Amino acid sequence: MNTNQEAWLAPRAAVFKALGHPSRLFIVETLRQKPHCVCELTELIGADTSTISKHLSVLKNAGVVHSSKSGTTVYYRLACDCLSGMLDATESILRKRAESANASLTGSFGATR
């Protein structure tokens, strides 16, 4: 990989890195449905506000979420609806991996015991 390729790939890797924590994936899955404020996400996840704020900061810096203010409340939403497709693709990968694992278990016997 040359320097230009690395420079091109680095921001893409940052997006995947931002998504690389279960709580942040939960936030993204939750924001898929509708925008939420920190207080709602705190309640849904069961973590303290500072932890959720940090996760949102990571997601925002990676360009995964946007925020908008309504009065004194800040609402977060997905920056791009295309993230839904990315999450769906992840589910497809996991399904195929599970199917492959099940096929490996059956082996030459044709069925699991």
pLDDT per residue as tens digits for the range 5-63: 999 999 999 999 999 999 999 999 999 999 999 999 999 999 999 999 999 999 999 99
Residues 64, 53 share a domain: yes
> Does position 64 have pLDDT exceeding 70, yes or no?
yes
Q: Note whether 67 and 109 are same-domain residues.
A: no
**Do residues 43 and 92 both lie within one domain?**
no
Same domain, 20 and 34: yes
User: What predicted TM-score, i.e. pTM, was given to this entire model?
Assistant: 0.80
Cα–Cα dist 109/40, whole Å: 50
Q: What is the DSSP string of 52-95?
A: HHHHHHHHHHTTSEEEEEETTEEEEEES-THHHHHHHHHHHHHH
User: Which residue range is the domain that position 90 belongs to?
Assistant: 81-113
Cβ burial 17-50 (10 Å sphere, 16+ → b, else e): ebbeeebbbebbebbeeebbbbebbbeebebeee
For the domain that residue 14 is a member of, what is the CATH number? 1.10.10.10
Structure tokens at 79: 């920056």
For residues 59 and 109, state if they share a domain. no
Task: Give the bridge partners for 77, in sequence order.
Answer: 66
Do 11 and 47 fall within a single domain? yes
Check whether residue 45 and residue 62 sit in a common domain: yes
